[in-house]
Amino acid sequence: MMFRHLLIGALAFLLVACEAPVILPETGGNTEPLSLVQPRRELPPTFFEQAANGAEEVIDRYLSITDEITARGGTNTEPIKALVSPSWLLKEREGFESYQTRGLRSVGSTSAHSVVIQNAHITLEGAIEVGAMVCVEGTDFFVIPAEYDDPPEAVWQWHPDYEDFEGEDSDWEDIEQYLSQPDVTWGTAVAIQTWLVGESFESLVIDSWEPWWGVYEC
């Protein structure tokens, strides 16, 4: 739900992770230090497949939970804790608090598609990091003042393709009247760059979630 700090541009796949060189101290009067490069670590053959499956599952759950919280007006945020890192939880709470402060709630839902894994590797500490691009479809996601009624049926039927409207005049009046109310907004399709971290694929959580301003069609 929150837009996150942009970490990287486009990243190539990393097929092999390498350890950093370890410099040994001088010994035995030898004036040239010895160096030892630890062996290259081959990633499992299914590593990127597991990364993609794990990331997609977390992203889908993340969008579902954030939709539920914003539909409640940003209250009862406890469920999001299991899906984000401690550092990113602070950003999430800021976003949910803005719903409460401004008296807003959401109607509708968001969904993800076109998830592309840009980077997946194991850190020197043994943690898994996954970077991905994802298209988030927010066209059917409205943010409205909490006291407003939900969008009328005519809005759901024709939104956002109003140029193709072929309904009754009364339907068009309902659409215009609803969308012209103060503080009624709705989403679009947006490209997101996200990072996920975890000790295993089963424990991946979102650590960053930012709009991507480069070329990525959604």
75: nearest Cα among 97, 44, 108: 97
DSSP characters for 85-154? -HHHHHHHHHHHHHHHHHTEEEEE--EEEEEEEEEEEE-TTS-EEEEEEEEEE-TTEEEEETTSPPPPHH
pLDDT 10s digits, 17-34: 333 333 334 445 554 444
- Predicted pLDDT at 215: 82
The Cα 53–Cα 130 span in angstroms is 11
Helix, strand or coil, per DSSP, at residue 81: helix
Q: Does the pLDDT at position 69 exceed 60?
A: yes
Q: Which of 29-38, 95-104, 126-135 has the lowest mean pLDDT?
A: 29-38
Contact between residue 114 and residue 135 where contact means Cβ atoms under 8 Å apart: yes
Q: What is the mean pLDDT of the chain?
A: 85
Helix (H) or strand (E) holding 143: strand 141-145
> What's the pLDDT score for residue 40?
52
Q: How far is CA 125 from the centre of its chain?
A: 24
| Banded pLDDT at 10 (limits 50, 70, 90) | very low
Question: Given this model, what pLDDT does residue 180 score?
Answer: 97
- Token pair 């959580």: residue: 205
Structure confidence at residue 214 (pLDDT): 85
The mean pLDDT of 174-197, rounded to a whole number, is: 97
What would the pLDDT profile of 163-182 be if each residue is shown by its tens digit? 999 999 999 999 999 999 99
Q: Which pLDDT score, from 0 to 100, does residue 16 have? A: 31
Stated pTM of the model: 0.79
